[in-house]
A and B are shown apart, each in its own frame.
Chain A
Amino acid sequence: MNQENALVRAEDLTRHFVTDLGRTVRAVDNVTFDVLRGETLGLVGESGCGKTTLGRLLCRFQEPTRGKVFFDGVDLTGLGPGELRRFRPRIQMIFQDPLSSLNPHKTAEQIIDPPLRIRRYGTPSAIRDRVTELMQLVGLDASHAPKFPHQFSGGQQQRIAIARALAAQPDFIVADEPVASLDVSIQAQILSLLRRLQKQLRLTVLFISHDLGVVSCVSHRIAVMYLGRIVEIGPAHAVLQRPLHPYTRALLAAVPQIGPEPRSERIRLSGDPPSPMDVPAGCRFHTRCYLKLTSECHTQEPALRELISGHRAACHLAEPVSDPVRYPLNVNGPFPGPIS
């Protein structure tokens, strides 16, 4: 992987918590990957897989137990709070629940302008103009600037959060489930917006979500997480159509699709996912894996290895797949399709 091309690099990133009862929660366990300049990397996984923690580690909202985070070649983990603060505007986060990510006692304008004021962007009227510009950029009517968050709808609140992030002029945005709490049609609007902004402003985005469908339409590459580790990473179309890891295949099989069944494979995982406090020995997925396990699966943690160019998976049994997953496609009807 071309090191210069990576804007963000995580190296052996680990975050363990110790609970009051003395149990260790292995939220993120030795994760190494890159986010390339200008790309959207989709990070997918179910609850408890550590994707939110990973996002926070990259933004340095949490300290890693071990490992490093590099931003634009600089080791962020080694920096003190003062130096770190200089990097902060370049890495921004968008949160899942827009209402709680906005200070309820501040107006939209007061929420968007702090990054400008902290940077000493200019005179108050220059700042106000910039706020107007940003609001328009995210599709909000600038006349609503003096309103409070609870007066806006969920989609509009998320737009305010996006405007705030953009005010800092970031290079890298971590979007942590930005559309999870929104309705489908609003979700589509925000995803469209994010796609447009990314292209327009040449942003690098880490898009965290549990929803494969959502991730599939914004990401250039996709990484799949399970129980604190990345189990597969590669170009979006490759991961979606020729998944290497059995967990990825199971995830894809579980997403209900619109259209007639059957798909090429029907996989159901049994049982509940293990807790990050009780990570299984060997391959952490082996307790739910539907493939025929070998002794290696029970004893050795598989490394993330490159099976096809640019496409890696952490599985002892994975092989490059020749026949792709088939999704139900409406060959007869006009749907789905853009309005002509």
Chain B
Amino acid sequence: MSQLLLQVLNLQTRLLTHRGALCPVDGVSLAIRRGETVALVGESGCGKSMTALSLVRLVPRPGRIVSGQVLFDGEDLLLKPDAEMRRIRGRRIGMVFQDPLSTLNPTLRVGHQIEESLRVHGVARGPAARQRSVELLEAMGIPSARERLQSYPHELSGGMRQRVMIAIAVSCEPDLLIADEPTTALDVTLQAQIMDLLARLKAERGLAILLITHDLGVVSQFSDCVAVMYAGQIVEQGPTADLLQNPRHPYTQGLLRCVPRLGRPDLEILPIEGSVPDTVSPPPGCRFAPRCPEAWNRCWTEMPALRPHGEGRTVRCHLYAEPQLLAGEGGME
């Protein structure tokens, strides 16, 4: 059994709008090993949620996956028939979304929804399913689990609803959990509880997690590896501690500089200046060039490729293609 659970190669998803074709996922490549947590981080509109949806082929119309491979345990998910994808979703890949109030069916009791997941994937039914549901809720740290099964989603608090969502997602013991902004809608103390829960699940079940978030703090505390997205592309990737300590790409550097730090309230937060590329007709060169303080001639004309730079690190930036540029000789062409 290979260590590599998920390997995404050059995934491209296109969205056809009346203004033209948008490419929210533009050549994204990712790798997740068993038991590993990979964070996909970026601001709104960078394409991270669309990437997650593309992995499990849940891209909403008018979007379509146009090229690339999604190798899950060696098999390309993009080539599988729909019926088989349905069996994989939930059973081998669990999903947790941002807003549990809208992803849980408001007219069904919570217990029913958990049991439904177990039943559909043939894991358990009837009284066995009910027992499993109780155990799951208890594992999620929900008190009075048996009574809670009878509740409707709106009767539960936000934190509890999210725990129910996670319970459903891990009910069939998947290998991979995709969590799309699981704590964004929650208060910070609840966020801490949920992240602790996910950490515990990861340790107990060897769960691999793809964590989609915009919060660099969450990334830092929780993930093993991180990929930074901008304008549909991955601009930097690597082990979390190293990347956050030594960011290479100017966008990552800019992001880190503009996040307020509790420990250093005196620190000047520095906004990222400049404008953002039009997604329908992006400029020919690097998409971050208009906002990059280090941009030089080549950045405007040629799109940099994602290249390795250091231990397990990749960067999409011309600055790192030419070693001598780092010495500050850029812009001399």
Contacts and interface: CB of A to CB of B under 8 A. Distances in A.
Interface residues of B, number: 49
Contact of A272 (B160, B244, B257, B271): B160
Nearest to A252: B262
Given A251-B188, A261-B221, A188 B244 contact: no
A240 B257 contact: no
B269 A258 contact: no
Interface string A235-253: 0110010000000001111
A335 B253 CA distance: 8
A253 B192 contact: yes
Interface string A202-231: 000000001111101100000000000000
B262 A268 contact: no
Interface in B266-280: 267-272
Interface stretch (B2-10, B66-74, B209-217): B209-217
Interface in B200-218: 214-218
A46 B188 CA distance: 7
B269 A257 contact: no
Given A272-B157, A330-B245, A188 B272 contact: yes
A335 B217 contact: no
Contacts of A76: none
A183 B222 CA distance: 21
Contact of A255 (B217, B267, B293): B217
Contact of B259 (A184, A252, A253): A184
A191 B222 CA distance: 27
B260 interface: yes
A188 B269 contact: yes
Contacts of A339: 257, 270, 293
Contacts of A191: 260, 269
Contacts of B221: 256-257, 261
Given A184-B259, A339-B293, A236 B265 contact: yes
Contact of A251 (B189, B195, B246, B272): B189
Given A192-B271, A236-B265, A328-B263, A185 B220 contact: no
A255 B256 CA distance: 16
A99 to B, nearest CB: 14
B255 interface: yes
B113 interface: no
B241 A256 contact: no
A240 B190 CA distance: 20
B241 to A, nearest CB: 7
A137 B18 CA distance: 36
A185 B255 contact: yes
A210 B188 CA distance: 8
Contacts of B255: 184-185
B220 A256 contact: yes
Contacts of A328: 263
Interface in A95-116: none
A329 to B, nearest CB: 6
Contacts of B87: none
A245 to B, nearest CB: 14
A185 B264 contact: no
B247 interface: yes
Contacts of A46: 187-189
A214 B259 CA distance: 8
B196 A268 contact: yes
B270 A188 contact: yes
Could you tell me the dominant secondary structure of chain A's interface residues?
loop
A333 interface: yes
B43 interface: yes
Contacts of A258: 216-217, 219-220, 244, 256, 259, 261
Given A210-B187, A253-B192, A258-B244, A336 B267 contact: yes
A211 B111 CA distance: 34
B260 A259 contact: no
Given A184-B43, A185-B254, A189-B271, A257 B261 contact: yes
Nearest to B191: A254
Residue from A189, A213, A250 having most chain B Cβ neighbours under 10 A:
A213
A327 B261 CA distance: 9
Nearest to A330: B245
A212 B189 contact: no
Nearest to B241: A260
B265 A240 contact: yes
Given A46-B187, A256-B217, A335-B257, A272 B159 contact: yes
A82 interface: no
A255 B261 CA distance: 10
A3 interface: no
A332 interface: yes
Contacts of B265: 216-217, 236-237, 240
B264 A336 contact: yes
B258 interface: yes
Contacts of B270: 188, 338-339
Nearest to A48: B187
B193 interface: yes
16 contacts: A184-B43, A185-B43, A185-B271, A188-B269, A192-B269, A237-B265, A252-B262, A258-B219, A259-B244, A261-B221, A269-B193, A272-B190, A327-B261, A329-B263, A337-B267, A339-B293
10 interchain residue pairs of minimum CB distance: A327-B263, A256-B217, A188-B258, A254-B192, A46-B187, A213-B260, A189-B271, A183-B43, A188-B271, A217-B260
Given A213-B259, A272-B160, A327-B263, 19 more contacts: A46-B189, A183-B44, A184-B43, A214-B260, A217-B265, A217-B269, A254-B192, A256-B215, A256-B218, A257-B261, A258-B217, A258-B244, A259-B244, A271-B143, A326-B263, A333-B245, A338-B257, A338-B268, A338-B270
Interface of A: 46-47, 183-189, 191-192, 210-214, 216-217, 236-237, 240, 250-261, 268-273, 326-330, 332-333, 335-339
